[in-house]
Amino acid sequence: MRTLDATDLRILAALSALPDATTVALAQHLGISRNTAQARLARLTADGVFGPFERRISLEALGHPLTAFVQVHVHQQRLTSITEALARIPEVVQAHGLTGSADVLARVAARSAEDLFRIHTRILAIEGVERADTSLAMAELVPWRTVPLVESLLDGEAGEAARG
């Protein structure tokens, strides 16, 4: 992936503030030409800068108000098949390979405590899973966000331009 420049970062920040803006409105807001905005958006899309739309879908709206994080301890030789099995569980909405004591961290969406127990049991039944430790999320303290990072990169660009 190529490095994003200040114009790209400004476009990303503007899209976060105005997600439904047309290309013309975005260009006007940023003070750039429509062609520049359109070309940049096309390149950002082609470069995979934008995540999938499904990240915006609320788990609560889907009837799954509970979020839990499951630390899964596995036989390393079975990691590929375990990952495939986790992906077949619809309530596993995300999973990461880890360093440290656990091998996989799975984010799980559940309807209720009983539903979470069912999902936990299903994870434990996967061949190669040694154990799973589940922690219920009590509150989302810092929601998914990228704008502060984008803004810090823009601030860094401005600082470099002033020094350069």
CATH 3.30.565.10 for domain 66-136: no
Residues of the chain with CATH 1.10.10.10: 1-51
What's the CATH number for 1-51?
A: 1.10.10.10
Please tell me the distance from the alpha carbon of residue 8 to that of residue 137, in angstroms, as a whole number. 34
Residues of the chain with CATH 3.30.70.920: 66-136
With 0-12 / 13-18 / 19 or more C-beta atoms within 10 angstroms meaning exposed / middle / buried, residue 157 is middle
* pLDDT (tens digit per residue) in 48-103: 999 898 988 999 999 999 999 999 999 999 999 999 999 999 999 999 999 999 99
- The pTM of this model reads 0.84
pLDDT at 159 over 90: no
With 0-12 / 13-18 / 19 or more C-beta atoms within 10 angstroms meaning exposed / middle / buried, residue 109 is buried
Residue 91: CB atoms within 10 Å? 20
